[in-house]
Chain A
Amino acid sequence: MSHLTFRNSPATGGSPAFHLRWPSPWTTAATLTALLVMTPILTVLGYLFHPGSGTWQHLADTVLGDYIRNSLLLMAGVAVGAGSIGITTAWLTSMYRFPGCRLFIWALLLPLAFPAYILAYTYTGMLEPAGPLQGWIRSAFGLGYGDYWFPEIRSIGGAIVVLSLVLYPYVYLLARAAFLEQSVCALEASRLLGCGPWRSFFSVALPLARPAIVVGLSLALMETLADFGTVDYFGVSTFTTGIFRTWYGLYDEVAAAQLAALLMLFVFSLILLERWSRRQARFHHATNRYRPLPEQRLGRLGAWSATTVCLLPLLFGFLLPVAQLGLWAIQTWEQMVDASFYTLAVNSFTLAGIAAVTALFAALLLGYGKRLHPTRWLRGLVRIAGMGYAIPGMVIAIGVLIPFGWLDNTLDSWMRDRFGVSTGLLLSGTLFILLFAYLVRFLTVSLQTVEAGLSRVKPSMDEAAWSMGQSRLGTVRRVHLPLIRGSLLTALLIVFVDVLKELPATLVLRPFNFNTLAVRTYELASDERLADASTAALTIVLVGIIPVILLSVTIAHSRPGHAKPA
């Protein structure tokens, strides 16, 4: 960066004239931020090469096989479940006209508002022997408990169903986008070449959309691997519960970190699959010409079957559980909504607000750094710093605790030796560490949104503003801000809601006696007080609807082939 000098210009009356690269503090600050965010990931990966403790051998002999088997089974089940629901609903809503299809286009996204663990608690409450459904069966048929067979929801099968219901929208979103992007010509050509609608779907539309579907599936599977609340509650041993147990039950940070590192390897293979599929997806675009899809009308029977098929995931993934939560909340809110509930809400909202603002500033720093100095180095760093979302919260919690715990202990002993003062757990015992973990995990979200916003400000617009007499600051204020304001708000909102829903990292990293809505829901559910948990759970779900609305609005505005306001 040799061109960054400010020079005095006597010819123009001493006004500062400078070379048009921004000062290098941008690069430095962006680099530091990126490195900081990468610390937990690198820490955990570092343990892959650790010789290991005795516990590791013990884990490997006993439960590790279970962890791997259960994780693989869960992934396979969710892939089938979320995949089939997502693809079917995406195909129906993009190709056919049937009662309610306009509504389903956005309503099918609603299950995204549910954190999987809350859906798990709700269904357990509904389906357990003492719950309303089994009670009705017993009274209607005059049966006693144990006289009949009823599926056990707290099992790996139950976890697959719950996760599929919450995660199918990822597949739905990407598959639908892919179906809409396909040139109608390909489908029409296939029809003219003698394929019926069904064969056209299987031999043309589905293969064309396959890369997008794989991207959606790999996102859903990353979430499956990251899930802690559901599998913990259903007693299914996976990596996340294993890490938690090793950390808190066996107090073995090395073994916990090694489990986390192993889980990361699973995640990385999914990331590679996703990246590879995204590249494939680019080659699958045959034409750039789009037409609005001619929606096909269905016969009466077909139409109502389509409606039913789309209604089922919406019903079981959103409407029923919300109704159940609402019912419980009505019964219990008078006892539950008290001063401590307000504290919970204030804690959650404050935490989420601070995290959202922090993530936004970090994203702006990285986004502007990359825009002003698009060097290979900075581009690579920003890309790695934006990977946090793929890393399970439990892994990030471990990756944050280990280095900060070490830092605190080192500082503490140094201060005691030097000044006789104990600083205690200065960072790892406070909210700082939790906010940092949020930053690592959710920077991805704000970074993507900020970068999308900044991409609307073309470099020539900066130059146009300068050539019309605007200073740098004036350009940011009068050109950048109006153009990226919407993106900044979106970034704030999405991170806010994500933090509110986050469970595992919060559970591990929160300071003593500090509770949030998510943690309280977890605690009450663990005590089998499902109805009591409903008020907090319902709050989380209702706030979770906000990003779903944002998402559906964005989609409505960005359909390919439609004129997009610049």
Chain B
Amino acid sequence: MRNQLEITGLSVRLGGKTVVKEIDLALQSGELACLVGPSGCGKTTLLRTIAGFEQPDSGAIRLHGAAIATTQDSTPPEKRGIGMVFQDLALFPHLTVAGNIAFGMRGQPRPAINQRIGELLELVDMSSLRRCYPHQLSGGQQQRIALIRAMAPRPALLLLDEPFSSQDMERREQLVQEVRNILNKDKITAMLVTHDQHEAFAFADNIGVMNKGRLLQWDSAFDLYHRPQSRFVADFIGQGVLVDARVVNEQTLQTELGEISGELSRRLPPGSEVELLIRPDDIIHDDQSPVRARVVNRLFRGASHLYTLQLNNETRVLCLAPSHHNHQIGERIGIRLNLDHLVIFPQEEEELSQTTKNGQTIRVDERVNGYNRRLIGKS
């Protein structure tokens, strides 16, 4: 299938700083994609460059195969045919709902405009509010109007710049799925920018994780979680712990939890010191298991318990157990590992200091016996 959007080697400088660095990505027609990353990672700048509000310093952006931005020239935003939903929605307060939706369809015959407005309002179930002004609508309604306003001229690509960030957490996931369904129904290619991974999971077919201007990984939500290619992605997506390990052979690691066998994420010579990513769902609570760990913290989450467990030698891991397995702090419980794909990172890899920026990551650095163990948890 032909690529709807194609970005090659794109870098953008803003105020003397390179905020987007050599990005390559492609979106197929009808694909819903998402960029996630901590604030300041360059994801919004990338989006604004695609829209035409910022200019590339190297690389090119192609839409339908035609270059819309290169270092030599750049199509102005009003000629790109790209729609955008803004973080503050940017609805025009002096126009009605219908007026806002019709804004981008100038030049089309009246009946066609009216029909499109009716069709879109029906899509979001707001037909009765055609003559309302933006300030008369609720936050969620304003959001939907902003969305269909951007969809109205049938843009070749729709960009969404954190439009859900003003909504409360509970409404957000539901709204994101609604938007996903609406876009799917209209077969629109779209890219969402957010710092919230749950929003990204709910919205996108493919997700790009950005940090410090670079696109670290472009993958499905499943692969980002289970096959992160860098420590940053491992840390940013989901929860987990890095545990010290040593490569025994091509399929086996020696850890404080014993020997673990499985497919290693990268090939390293036997004897290499590595760190192994263990997700909370990799550790299964099993009363029969001979391996025991002490409960040091617990978090009740309704359907499940998130336990922080301490192994015999200070290493801490997270364990997601069914809710009815109710254990007290200090108790020793049986666990076993359920890992077939082993995500490992060499010990000497660069430090991940930026991960706490998004406010969701708690990391405790403990130095015991010269080993550096990390507990990465997201609550």
Instruction: List the A side residues contacting B135 at CB < 8 Å.
Output: 563-566
Min CB distance, B150 to chain A, in Å? 7
Interface of A is mostly: mixed
Contacts A20-B53, A483-B93; A7 near B86 (Cβ below 8 A): no
Report the Cα distance A47→B365, complex, angstroms.
67
* Chain B count of residues within 8 A CB distance of the other chain: 41
A464 touches B86 (CB 8 A): yes
A17 touches B75 (CB 8 A): yes
Instruction: List the B side residues contacting A458 at CB < 8 Å.
Output: 88, 90
**B201 located at the interface, meaning its Cβ lies under 8 Å from any Cβ of chain A in the complex:** no
**Interchain CB contact (< 8 A) of B76 among A18, A460, A563, A566:** A18
**Interchain CB contact (< 8 A) of B53 among A12, A456, A463:** A463
Name the residue on B nearest A485 (C-beta).
B94
**B51 located at the interface, meaning its Cβ lies under 8 Å from any Cβ of chain A in the complex:** yes
A467 touches B78 (CB 8 A): yes
Name the residue on A nearest B67 (C-beta).
A11
**B106 located at the interface, meaning its Cβ lies under 8 Å from any Cβ of chain A in the complex:** yes
Min CB distance, B112 to chain A, in Å? 15
**B280 located at the interface, meaning its Cβ lies under 8 Å from any Cβ of chain A in the complex:** no
Min CB distance, A10 to chain B, in Å? 7
Report the Cα distance A19→B14, complex, angstroms.
13
Restricting to B101-158, which residues have a CB under 8 Å from any CB of A?
103-104, 106, 133-135, 149-150, 152-153
* Chain A count of residues within 8 A CB distance of the other chain: 34
B104 touches A469 (CB 8 A): yes
**A137 located at the interface, meaning its Cβ lies under 8 Å from any Cβ of chain B in the complex:** no
B92 touches A468 (CB 8 A): no
Min CB distance, A244 to chain B, in Å? 48
**A461 located at the interface, meaning its Cβ lies under 8 Å from any Cβ of chain B in the complex:** yes
**A384 located at the interface, meaning its Cβ lies under 8 Å from any Cβ of chain B in the complex:** no
Interface 1/0s, chain B 49-76, versus A by CB < 8 A? Answer: 0011111000000000011101011111
**Interchain CB contact (< 8 A) of A460 among B68, B88, B153:** B88
B133 touches A469 (CB 8 A): no
Report the Cα distance A471→B149, complex, angstroms.
17
Name the residue on A nearest B104 (C-beta).
A468
**A28 located at the interface, meaning its Cβ lies under 8 Å from any Cβ of chain B in the complex:** no
B92 touches A466 (CB 8 A): no
**A470 located at the interface, meaning its Cβ lies under 8 Å from any Cβ of chain B in the complex:** yes
Report the Cα distance A364→B93, complex, angstroms.
21
Instruction: List the A side residues contacting B54 at CB < 8 Å.
Output: 20
Instruction: List the A side residues contacting B324 at CB < 8 Å.
Output: none
**B208 located at the interface, meaning its Cβ lies under 8 Å from any Cβ of chain A in the complex:** no
**B240 located at the interface, meaning its Cβ lies under 8 Å from any Cβ of chain A in the complex:** no
Report the Cα distance A3→B71, complex, angstroms.
12
B134 touches A470 (CB 8 A): no
Name the residue on B nearest A463 (C-beta).
B53
Instruction: List the B side residues contacting A10 at CB < 8 Å.
Output: 73
**B9 located at the interface, meaning its Cβ lies under 8 Å from any Cβ of chain A in the complex:** no
**B82 located at the interface, meaning its Cβ lies under 8 Å from any Cβ of chain A in the complex:** yes
Report the Cα distance A463→B70, complex, angstroms.
20
B53 touches A469 (CB 8 A): no
- Between A and B, 25 residue pairs with Cβ closer than 8 Å are A3-B55, A11-B66, A11-B67, A12-B68, A12-B73, A15-B79, A17-B75, A20-B53, A458-B88, A460-B87, A460-B89, A461-B90, A461-B92, A467-B51, A467-B78, A467-B82, A468-B83, A469-B81, A469-B106, A482-B95, A483-B93, A565-B93, A565-B135, A566-B93, A566-B135
Give me the 3 closest cross-chain CB pairs, A-B, nearest first: A468-B104, A460-B90, A9-B73
Q: Given A3-B55, A11-B73, A466-B76, 8 more contacts at CB 8 Å?
A: A11-B70, A19-B74, A20-B53, A478-B103, A483-B92, A483-B94, A565-B135, A566-B93
